[in-house]
C-alpha cells in the first residue's frame, strides 16, 4: 500500500526545521530529495566497490563494471527499452538533448529543414536547437499552446511539413504540469517521416513511461528529479538510430581502438559498442549506482501508485487554492491532465515575494520563469510561483501551505 | 565594499520580467542588519511581522524577518551595492 507517511521516514532531510518550522518541500520539479536507500547505495559503492569501469582485470573494477552495467539494464527496464544498448548515461536531460542536437542534428539537419519545438518547452529543449540553427541555417519553428497551457495539437499538425525533421516536445510541462499526448505527437511526426525527441525530465519521475508504447525516437530524463543524485541522467534512443549516429564526445571508453599507422602518420579510429560509444571518459559510475537504487525504490512503490498519489495531492491543492481569493492558478483545471505541478500568483505580490514569504514558514517553492520564458510570455505572466509535489508530500503539508498563503492575502 | 560583505551572504538576481535583486543576509548578523535597515528606511507597511515594506530614497525594498530582502526594479548591481552600503553603514 502506498503510504506517504511511511515513505517520509526514508527521507532524513524531511526531519529538518527551517525558520522554526518543519520543512515542507514543494520544489520537487527542480530536484527531489533522496531516500536513505539511495544515500546508502552511494556510500556502499565508495566503501566497497569503487574502481574505474571496463578494461581492467582486477576484482574491484569488475564489480564496479557489473554495477554500472546493471544500472543501465535497470534503467532500460524502467522505461521499457529493448536493452541497455539503448540507454546512454549523461549528466542529465540538458546534456542528453545536446547529445541529440550535436550527434544527430549536426549531421542530419540542412539549411532547408525545420525543427519543431513547442512554446511550453524548458530552455534546455530550445537553446541547443537554436544554437545549432545558427551553425546549420535551418529554422526552429514554435508550436503554439492553448490558454490553459495545454498543447494545441491542431497547431502542431498544421506546423509539420516535409521540411520537418524532428519534433522536440516535453512529456510534462515543468511549469503547468500539463501531460502531453506523446503517442499522438509521435504518430504525427512519423507520418511525416520526422523523428520525435521527448523531454521526460518531469514525466519519468512521476508516471509510468513505456518508450515502445509511446513510439518515441529519443527520450531523456534526469536522475536528480527522481530520487537519484545530481549529475546522472539518461538518453534513450532507438538502437537503429544510435547505430547510425556519430559520437558526441571523443576520448577513452567510447573507442574500440585508435590504430596509429606509422607510414601514413595517422590514426584509424573505430567506435566502441552501444551504449559506450556515447559515454566518453570515465563516467559517473557512482551516479549510475545511485540512479539504479532510485529506480528500485520507485519500482517498489509502483509508478502507477506514484502517479495516483500526486494526482490526489494536485486535485486537493487546486481545490484549496481556489479558497484563496487573491490566488490565480494556471494550467489545466482537471488534475488528471497534469502531474503534481501547480503554478500560481498572488495578487499584489511578485512570485519571488511569495517564495520568500513561504520560506519564513519553512515551505520551499520556486519562483521566476522556471527556465520557460516563452511559455510565460505566451500566457502573459511576468513570472510565476510554483509548488510541485512528490511521493513524500501530504495533504497536511498542503493545508499548512494554504494557511501561509492566507496570511499573505491578509495584507 | 567591506561593510556589505560583513552582512551579506549572497545576492541573487531574480528571473522574471521584474528586475529585482534578492539579498540574503548572513544568518548570524541578519537581525543586526535588519535593525539598521529599519532605522534608515521608511516603513510603509508590515505584514504579519514577517514582511516589511520599506522605502529608501525612492527605492522600494521588501525585507523579510528571515534575513532576505528584495530590492525592486534596480538598474543594476552597482546601484544595489551603493544602496546597501548606505543602509548598512553606521
pLDDT tens for A99-151 read 999 999 999 999 999 999 999 999 999 999 999 999 999 999 999 999 999 99
Percent of chain A exceeding pLDDT 70 equals: 100
Average pLDDT across chain A, whole number? 97
CA distances from residue A293 to A113, A265, A275, A393 in whole angstroms, order as listed: 42, 47, 20, 20
Q: What is the mean pLDDT of residues A4-8?
A: 98
Domain end among A277, A299, A321:
A299
Work out whether the CA dihedral A223, A80, A89, A373 comes out positive or negative.
negative
What pLDDT does B47 receive? 82
Q: How many CB atoms lie within 10 A of CB B85?
A: 13
All cell numbers assigned to A287: 551516479
Range of the domain at A403: 4-26+302-410
Among A299, A319, A354, the domain-final residue is A299
Q: What is the pLDDT of residue A411?
A: 74
Report the distance separating Cα A287 and Cα A293, nearest Å.
10
- Nearest by Cα to A190 from A172, A164, A153: A164
Q: Is there a contact between B14 and A353 if contact means CB atoms under 8 Å apart? A: no
Which residues in chain B touch residue A357, judged by CB atoms under 8 angstroms apart?
Answer: 50-51, 64
Among chain A residues, CA nearest to B70: A353
Same domain, A259 and A322: no
A17-18 and B21-25 strand pairing? unpaired
pLDDT at res. A335: 83
A285 in a structural domain: yes
Higher pLDDT, A408 or A232: A232
Which residues make Cβ contacts (< 8 Å) with residue A171, sequence separation at least 6?
A179, A180, A182, A198, A199, A200, A202, A203, A204, A209, A219
Answer whether B16 sits within 8 Å of A357, measured CB to CB: no
Q: Is A382–B17 a contact, with Cβ atoms under 8 angstroms apart?
A: yes
Q: Examine the domain organization and report whether A12 and A52 are in the same domain.
A: no
pLDDT classification of B46: cutoffs 50, 70, 90: confident
**Each residue of A206-246: pLDDT tens digit?**
999 999 999 999 999 999 999 999 999 999 999 999 999 99
Is A371 known to be catalytic? yes
pTM of the entire structure? 0.95
pLDDT at A318: 96
By the 8 A CB rule, do A175 and A372 touch?
Answer: yes
Q: Where are the alpha helices (DSSP H) in A197-302?
A: 211-214, 239-244, 285-301
**Domain check: are A44 and A175 in the same one?**
yes
Q: Give the number of C-alpha atoms closer than 13 A to the C-alpha of residue A148, restricted to the C-beta side.
A: 10
In this prediction, residue B75 has a pLDDT band, given cuts at 50, 70 and 90, of confident
Same domain, A287 and A239: yes
User: Does any domain span residue A31?
Assistant: no
Find the CB nearest A383 among B18, B50, B64. Answer: B18
Residues of chain A contacting residue B66, judged by C-beta atoms under 8 Å apart:
19, 356, 359-360
pLDDT score at B17: 82
CA A369, CA B15: separation in Å to the nearest integer? 6
Give the residue, A159 or B51, on which the prediction is more confident. A159
Average pLDDT over residues B39-66: 91
Confidence of residue A92 (pLDDT cuts 50, 70, 90): very high
- Residues A321, A221 share a domain: no
**Letter string b/e over residues B11-25, b meaning 16 or more CB atoms within 10 A of that residue's CB:** beebbbebebbbbbb
Amino acid at each position: 500500500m502506498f503510504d506517504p507517511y511511511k515513505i517520509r521516514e526514508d527521507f532524513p532531510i524531511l526531519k529538518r526545521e527551517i525558520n522554526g518550522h518543519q520543512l515542507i518541500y514543494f520544489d520537487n520539479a527542480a530536484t527531489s530529495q533522496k531516500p536513505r536507500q539511495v544515500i546508502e547505495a552511494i556510500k556502499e559503492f565508495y566503501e566497497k566497490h569503487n574502481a574505474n569501469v571496463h578494461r581492467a582485470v582486477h576484482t574491484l573494477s569488475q564489480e564496479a563494471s557489473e554495477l554500472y552495467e546493471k544500472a543501465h539494464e535497470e534503467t532500460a527496464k524502467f522505461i521499457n527499452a529493448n536493452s541497455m544498448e539503448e540507454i546512454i548515461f549523461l549528466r542529465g536531460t540538458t546534456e542528453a538533448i545536446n547529445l541529440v542536437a550535436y550527434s544527430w542534428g549536426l549531421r542530419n539537419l540542412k539549411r532547408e529543414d525545420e525543427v519543431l519545438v513547442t512554446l511550453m518547452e524548458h530552455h534546455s529543449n530550445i537553446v541547443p536547437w537554436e544554437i545549432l540553427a545558427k551553425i546549420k541555417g535551418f529554422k526552429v519553428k514554435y508550436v503554439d499552446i492553448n490558454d490553459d497551457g495545454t498543447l494545441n495539437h491542431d497547431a502542431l499538425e498544421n506546423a509539420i511539413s516535409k521540411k520537418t525533421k524532428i519534433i522536440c516536445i516535453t512529456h510534462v510541462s515543468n511549469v503547468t504540469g500539463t501531460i502531453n499526448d506523446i503517442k499522438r505527437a509521435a504518430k504525427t511526426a512519423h507520418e511525416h517521416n520526422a523523428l520525435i525527441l521527448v523531454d521526460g525530465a518531469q514525466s519519468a519521475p512521476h508516471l509510468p513511461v513505456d518508450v515502445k508504447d509511446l513510439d518515441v525516437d529519443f527520450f531523456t530524463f534526469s536522475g536528480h528529479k527522481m530520487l537519484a543524485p545530481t549529475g546522472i541522467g539518461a538518453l534513450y534512443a532507438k538502437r537503429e538510430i544510435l547505430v547510425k549516429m556519430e559520437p558526441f564526445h571523443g576520448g577513452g571508453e567510447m573507442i574500440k581502438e585508435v590504430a596509429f599507422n606509422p607510414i601514413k602518420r595517422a590514426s584509424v579510429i573505430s567506435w566502441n559498442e552501444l551504449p559506450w560509444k556515447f559515454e566518453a571518459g570515465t563516467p559517473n559510475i557512482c551516479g549510475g549506482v545511485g540512479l539504479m537504487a532510485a529506480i528500485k525504490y520507485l519500482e517498489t512503490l509502483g509508478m502507477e501508485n506514484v502517479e495516483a498519489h500526486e494526482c490526489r495531492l494536485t486535485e486537493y491543492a487546486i481545490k484549496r487554492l481556489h479558497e484563496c481569493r487573491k490566488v490565480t492558478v494556471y494550467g489545466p483545471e482537471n488534475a488528471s491532465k497534469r502531474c503534481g505541478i501547480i503554478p500560481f500568483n498572488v495578487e499584489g505580490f511578485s512570485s519571488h515575494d511569495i517564495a520568500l514569504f513561504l520560506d519564513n514558514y519553512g515551505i520551499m517553492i520556486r519562483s521566476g520563469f522556471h527556465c520557460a520564458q516563452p511559455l510565460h510570455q505566451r500566457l502573459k505572466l511576468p513570472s510565476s510561483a510554483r509548488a510541485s509535489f512528490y511521493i513524500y508530500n501530504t495533504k497536511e503539508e498542503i493545508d499548512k501551505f494554504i494557511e501561509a498563503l492566507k496570511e499573505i492575502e491578509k495584507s | 565594499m567591506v561593510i556589505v560583505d560583513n552582512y551579506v551572504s549572497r545576492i541573487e538576481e531574480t528571473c522574471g520580467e521584474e528586475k529585482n535583486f534578492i539579498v540574503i543576509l548572513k544568518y548570524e548578523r541578519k537581525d543586526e542588519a535588519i535593525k539598521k535597515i529599519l532605522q534608515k528606511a521608511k516603513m510603509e507597511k508590515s505584514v504579519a511581522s514577517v514582511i516589511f515594506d520599506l522605502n529608501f530614497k525612492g527605492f522600494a525594498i521588501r525585507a523579510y524577518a528571515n534575513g532576505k530582502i528584495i530590492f525592486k526594479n534596480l538598474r543594476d548591481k552597482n546601484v544595489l551595492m551603493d544602496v546597501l552600503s548606505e543602509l548598512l553603514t553606521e
